[in-house]
Amino acid sequence: MFAEGARRIALGELPSMNQMVLTPGNAKRLAERLAHLRGAAMKLGQMISMDAGDMLPPELSAILATLRDQANFMPARQLDTVLTQEWGSDWRKRFRRFEPRPIAAASIGQVHRALTKDGRVLAIKVQYPGIAKSIDSDVDNVATFLRMSGLLPKELDIAPLLKAAKDQLHEEADYLREGEQMQQYAQLLQDQPQFVVPQLDKELTRERILAMSFEDGIAIESLESEPQDLRNTVFEHLIRLVSRELFELGLMQTDPNFANFRYRRDDGKIVLLDFGAARAVDPGVSNAYRRLLAAGLDGDKDRIREEALAAGFVAPAAIERHRERIDRMIELIATEISRDAPFDFGDRSFVPLLRDEGMAIAEDKQSWHIPPVETLFVQRKVSGTALLGARLKAVVNVRRVIEDVFDANPA
């Protein structure tokens, strides 16, 4: 970052902070470093790649997106050590076959396919050693970097955010909890045959091992080459699911990583994976989103601003100091959401306008604040789902979906 700043100053420029940080070279270096780490550090990079989404220049998003598909496997000896600690030295006797090479690897664990003695095909998620113990120090190290870099204003209290990050990562590292969340989610979706939730194998599941039925399917983003009608149908199911999570089920899987969704060609069902980030939705957050969306459906721009302020999405200082910019952003959003017509998620023409206004506001650190932590988890799922819609270039009447869910679940 400093090298980029010095280079620009030498050219007679006065670079801004984001110009120094958000360069392709810096993003590539960051991605390469994080790809060799595990746990909270790599999770952070994956979250940046999802959450920043459209707000980063395309070339930077593409570089960071590699973190969603990139992780180093455990060496075979290390894997055997973990399995022996959890299942005992004779663990191989439980299976006809246990594939040593993972079929997937992520920030906290890797997944293996196995065939049991009674002929069931399982997916076995094995946690990397030491992950749970490193979470607090990883998060604290990131916080230290942010403070030292001057990227955050001194007045901004990030303590609640750091605590929430640690709490959620500890929850994700508890595979017994994840198994319970997966079972609860499956029960809530019993009336939704378009979705498949893996079945938990309680006998084999431990705190660091999650055993479940293996559910085959293709990567959800690979549907981008399929016919438009199929893409629209699949993505409408996902939008409806997010709406139901927020306004009906009271439980949300808050990690929108594309790898958590698979598509089964043989029956057209969507496989849902990874429930470590599943959490209850606070009723106050649900009601705040309902009021905000209701204002958007009505196209009431003043009410949108008021509800965004009441929910803590926008700081009073930001409205006082940047009222015109915020109103232009609200105008864009209200125009889109209030239309009773299909919304083209592949048309990103409005994104640069939102990004430009947002970056201009962000340069004023006196306007910064952290929204209520519970809303951040929900917003991550909402924005990540929209990013998938952009990838699929889906066209869906979002207004109709929201109205249907509202009608089925009146306030």
Q: What are the catalytic residues?
A: 255
List beta partners, residue 218: 263
Q: State whether the Cα torsion 45-46-47-48 is positive or negative.
A: positive
Burial 374-402 (b: 16+ CB within 10 A, else e): bbbbbbbbbbbbbbbbbbbbbbbbbbebb
Long-range contact list for 181-188, CB < 8 A, 24+ apart?
Answer: 181/251, 181/275, 181/276, 181/278, 182/212, 182/275, 182/278, 184/251, 184/278, 185/251, 185/253, 185/272, 185/275, 185/278, 188/249, 188/251
In angstroms, the CA 278 to CA 357 distance is: 32
Residues in contact with 372: Cβ distance below 8 Å, sequence separation at least 6, in sequence order = 285, 311, 312
Quote the distance between the C-alpha of residue 162 and its chain's center: 17
Q: What is the DSSP letter of 322?
A: -
| 372 neighbors 323 (Cβ within 8 angstroms) | no
